[in-house]
Amino acid sequence: MNTRMLRVGAWLWALLLLLACALGADAFLRQGARFDTDITALLPQSGESALVQHANRQLGEAFNDHFLLLVEAPELAEVSRALVDTLEQSDAVSGVQWRRDDFIQGDPLVLLGPSRYRLLDPELATRIESGDTEELREEARGQLLIPFGLDHHPLRDPFGLLDRHIARIAPQGVGSDDGRLEITDGERRLGLVIGQLAGAPYAQSTQDGLESALASFSAAHPQARLVRSGMVFHAAAGAAQARTETGLIGTIELVSLIALLLLVFRSLKTLATLLLPLAMAILFAFSLTAWGFGRINLMTLAFGTSLIGIAVDYAIHLQCLRAAQGKRFVLGDVAPGLTLGLVCSLLAYAAQVLTPLPGLRQMAVFVMLGLAAAWATTLLWLPLLPAPPAHGVERAAQLCWRLQARLRGRLPPLLLACAAALLTLLALLYSSSNDSLRLLNTSPAALLDDEREVQRLLERDAGTRYLLVEAPSVEAWLERVESITPTLQALVDAQHLGDFDSLATRVPSHARQDRDLALVRTLYTTELDALYRDTGLPESLVPRALESLDDPPYLELDTWLESPLGTADRRLWLGSSENQAPRVAGMIPLEGAFDAQARAGVEALAASQPGLTFVDRVEEISAALGRLRVEIGTWVSLAFAAILSLMALRYRASAWRVVAPPLGAVLLVLGVYAAFGLSLNLFHLLALLLVLGLGMDAGIFTAEHPRSAHVWLAVTLSALANLLAFGLLAFSAVPVLHAIGLTALLGLLGVWLLVPLVQRRDPPPLDFRT
């Protein structure tokens, strides 16, 4: 390529870069692009039905939009009041519930009063059926003599049916002291506060506002202990972790890389040319990713900091060649190798783009755009800049040549084949996998302990495990729920299941309401005369009281859900489904303890009835991650096969020397993991794709220039740069990044050792400037 054509290409690349920057600026300033702290972006898009996905979203909304605090302090009443005052003053909080009256939205008497005769709790129904009604009369007598409750009227409700029903459907496990919500745990007393977020839990402003309010409260009340639960706290912890590691790892990596390059090239100008592709790579990738996705996840930035090592790879190779050849430098000597290396890297990352994990797709797109930008900047801009001085480069290249000469050609093909077979056998026999959802966890141990304490005390969770119930009509749905309730209750009574939440508890089916009405008529017929006599009321009131039982209205599910009292239950009802036949659907969350016997019982229950589906979101995501691991393994094989074909076309019989380092490094990683009993997961395999792409770069450049000392210098510098870029991730506290970093660390060390081992034992170069 002549200088004129190179300048034209450089200007075209500059214009394309400016266009990308304009699109990125437009995305942030006009389209509202933003940084995203949602770690769940790494979750797979499962193959669940639309109905199950709808149920997952609806059950998760309460956990996402609300947060829960337990406060423990000597002066609990005053401290609880102070906490509520602090939260109410925060812009991040739109509402606070901390008293029992906060949950009484609407008048229960208006909604439930007319239907009270059809709403018996199971224990009361059992006592009436068994004829054990005399004790019920004595209880009613005491309540009539000293009235309390909502409507304990001698005509409308002499037996206090409404109060019994309300007591049954009220939240359990939460006591009330002077109207405040409290939980008792042994001798401990904890105040309960539930907050409604004013914004999304992943919004930075929401997280900062809530954290600021709680920090202010803790500073004013150091004796108080807060127990936290809610997605907003986990999101904030993940964002803080990502920001810390992005800054720390990126800074250490950049400083180390600059020191390394200055040691070799001994020129600030050359250093600037080496870092120029990096800057353009990040600028180009950041702008187009923000424009294309509308948001950038902080995990993408944490992973993108590792782009530093890859981006300077191309510049290192080109500048080492320019230093070696001086005025004899020809761009055509390095362009084929750089281009082939880019293609191999893009093939490796393309597998991530094909995964159904939105977060990983964004990471892959970010890195692919950055690599393309680094390649374009290296080939089109750097040749137009002054060449680096040769002195320091020559000494470093001679040192690297002497170092690799000790390893060069020491691994015969037969021994290499035997080692590969042994590592493959070891991996096949002893490899294990771990696809647990905990891999995506970024929450600190203290916050997880808080979450477990809340779940233990309240027997609540985030709605990740439930039964999805479908039926042809609302009435059939309620009857189906009532039919499976005894099985679930038996699991609760046997302490295999913590609890379950059923709409049929609040709104029985018409059949159950008819049965309850018949039992109430039996109770009135048997005990009402005696009750009035015992309390001194005239017997003439009996017929008037019995008139209340003449066809009282049913309590309808729609009426309950549309009322203020049913607000919290709306998350359990999906209504009409989108199936061809008219159907309705709703959920029964399974809360608290859930052991193996509970799982077996619930799975058997779901299998025994049509229209009943057991959903365990955590298990399903773990299974999806496992399937993705297998798919990525397949893509690794396909990508390697495609790369092998390209290498065979260009290098013919020597192609094995190009592919042996990355393939051997992959087998080395798998063998080490198997030998030490370390489980593989999806993210280890994604890191192996990185090893494959970076290993191919080293193999290609050594094949293009097998007897040039500058190539060994460039390979060594690239290996060190990439070890800084990816190896540092091994020290990350984020499990995903740790898995990628550890695998890359082992794999890149393997690549660096294998590249000279599989080369021919040629004599040293006659001249450094060849």
Q: Measured between alpha carbons, how far is 400 from 719 in angstroms, rounded to an integer?
A: 12
Nearest to 236 by CA among 208, 196, 199: 208
pLDDT above 90 coverage of the chain, percent: 35
- Residue 151 CB-density burial (10 A; 0-12 exposed, 13-18 middle, 19+ buried): middle
Residues 6+ apart with CB under 8 A from 517: 117, 118, 549, 552
Asked whether residue 382 carries a pLDDT value surpassing 90, the answer given is yes
Asked whether residue 116 carries a pLDDT value surpassing 60, the answer given is yes
So what's the pLDDT on residue 766?
Answer: 43
Top pLDDT among 31 and 544 is at: 544
Top pLDDT among 760 and 193 is at: 193
Helix (H, G, I), strand (E, B) or coil at 604: helix
**For the residues 590-609, what does the mean pLDDT come to?**
92
Residue 735 — pLDDT band, cuts 50, 70, 90? confident
Tokens of 770: 């060849």
Give tens-digit pLDDT for 505-531.
999 999 999 999 999 999 999 999 998
Asked whether residue 594 carries a pLDDT value surpassing 80, the answer given is yes
So what's the pLDDT on residue 459?
Answer: 63
Amino acid at 423: L
- Residue 645 CB-density burial (10 A; 0-12 exposed, 13-18 middle, 19+ buried): exposed
Tokens of 173: 């496990």
Residue 770 — pLDDT band, cuts 50, 70, 90? very low
| Model confidence pTM above 0.85 | no
So what's the pLDDT on residue 628?
Answer: 74
**For the residues 495-509, what does the mean pLDDT come to?**
92
Is the Cα torsion angle 165, 170, 173, 177 positive or negative in sign? negative
**Which residue in this structure is represented by tokens 């970010």?**
366
So what's the pLDDT on residue 204?
Answer: 83
So what's the pLDDT on residue 503?
Answer: 94
Give tens-digit pLDDT for 558-569.
999 998 888 888
Helix (H, G, I), strand (E, B) or coil at 591: strand
**For the residues 358-383, what does the mean pLDDT come to?**
89
Longest dimension (CA), the chain: 124
Do 662 and 695 form a contact (C-beta atoms < 8 A)?
Answer: yes
Lowest mean pLDDT of 145-149, 291-295, 402-406, name the range: 145-149
DSSP-assigned beta bridge partners for residue 467: 588, 614
Top pLDDT among 487 and 393 is at: 487
Give tens-digit pLDDT for 46-96.
556 788 888 888 887 767 788 999 999 988 889 999 999 999 999 999 989
**For the residues 218-226, what does the mean pLDDT come to?**
94
Do 503 and 484 form a contact (C-beta atoms < 8 A)?
Answer: no
**For the residues 539-565, what does the mean pLDDT come to?**
91
Give tens-digit pLDDT for 686-704.
788 778 878 888 888 888 8
Question: Distance of CA 227 to CAs 15, 68, 82, 215, 696, Å?
Answer: 54, 8, 16, 13, 51
Q: Measured between alpha carbons, how far is 144 from 123 in angstroms, rounded to an integer?
A: 21
Amino acid at 502: S
Helix (H) or strand (E) holding 221: none
N-terminal to C-terminal alpha carbon distance within the chain: 21
Top pLDDT among 647 and 242 is at: 647
Q: Measured between alpha carbons, how far is 587 from 577 in angstroms, rounded to an integer?
A: 13
**For the residues 282-300, what does the mean pLDDT come to?**
87
Dihedral pair phi/psi, residue 499, rounded to 5°: -170, 175
Lowest mean pLDDT of 108-117, 353-362, 679-688, name the range: 353-362
So what's the pLDDT on residue 55?
Answer: 87
Asked whether residue 765 carries a pLDDT value surpassing 90, the answer given is no
Tokens of 611: 């229209």
* 193-197, 627-631, 722-726 — most confident range: 193-197
Residue 303 — pLDDT band, cuts 50, 70, 90? low
Query: Would strands 295-297 and 34-36 be described as parallel, antiparallel, or unpaired?
Result: parallel
**For the residues 377-391, what does the mean pLDDT come to?**
86
Residue 307 — pLDDT band, cuts 50, 70, 90? low
Residue 309 — pLDDT band, cuts 50, 70, 90? low
Over its C-alpha atoms, the chain yields an Rg (Å, rounded) of 35
Give tens-digit pLDDT for 328-350.
888 888 898 889 888 888 877 77
Q: Measured between alpha carbons, how far is 583 from 593 in angstroms, rounded to an integer?
A: 31
Asked whether residue 554 carries a pLDDT value surpassing 90, the answer given is yes
So what's the pLDDT on residue 39?
Answer: 58
So what's the pLDDT on residue 767?
Answer: 46
Q: Measured between alpha carbons, how far is 697 from 639 in angstroms, rounded to an integer?
A: 15
Is the Cα torsion angle 84, 85, 88, 89 positive or negative in sign? negative
Asked whether residue 492 carries a pLDDT value surpassing 90, the answer given is yes
So what's the pLDDT on residue 334?
Answer: 87
- Residue 235 CB-density burial (10 A; 0-12 exposed, 13-18 middle, 19+ buried): buried
Asked whether residue 35 carries a pLDDT value surpassing 70, the answer given is yes
- Per the document, the length of the chain is 770
- Residue 423 CB-density burial (10 A; 0-12 exposed, 13-18 middle, 19+ buried): buried
Which residues of 528-679 form beta strands (DSSP E)? Answer: 573-576, 584-594, 612-616
Q: What is the mean pLDDT of the chain?
A: 85
Q: Measured between alpha carbons, how far is 470 from 466 in angstroms, rounded to an integer?
A: 13
Q: Measured between alpha carbons, how far is 43 from 60 in angstroms, rounded to an integer?
A: 14
Asked whether residue 604 carries a pLDDT value surpassing 90, the answer given is yes
Do 655 and 648 form a contact (C-beta atoms < 8 A)?
Answer: yes
Nearest to 427 by CA among 415, 436, 417, 419: 419
Asked whether residue 553 carries a pLDDT value surpassing 60, the answer given is yes
C-alpha count within 13 angstroms, C-beta hemisphere, residue 694: 39
Residue 663 — pLDDT band, cuts 50, 70, 90? very high
Do 555 and 565 form a contact (C-beta atoms < 8 A)?
Answer: no
Asked whether residue 468 carries a pLDDT value surpassing 90, the answer given is yes
Q: CA angle at residue 594 from 591 to 597, to 5 degrees?
A: 140
Domain boundaries, the chain: 118-150+445-616
